[in-house]
Structure 1
Amino acid sequence: MLIRPMRPDDFETVWPILRDIARARETYALDPELDRAAGWALWGEAPRATFVAERDGAILGSSYIKPNAAGPGDHVCNAGFIVAPAARGQGVAAALCAHALTEARRLGFTAMQFNMVVASNQVAIRLWRRAGFLIVGTLPGAYRHATLGPVDCHVMFRALDDQAS
Structure 2
Amino acid sequence: MWRRRAAVGVPLQEGKRVLSLLDDDGRGSHLFLLNVAQAGEAGLVGTVLAVEAAAHGHGDAPRFECKVSFDRRGTGWRQSSTFGVRSTNLSGGLPADGFAFVAPNPPPAAASVTITLFDISSGEPGSALRPVLPRSRRSRTRLSATTTAAAAVLLR
TM-score (norm 2): 0.29
Structure holding more strand per residue: 2
Tell me the TM-score normalized by structure 1. 0.28
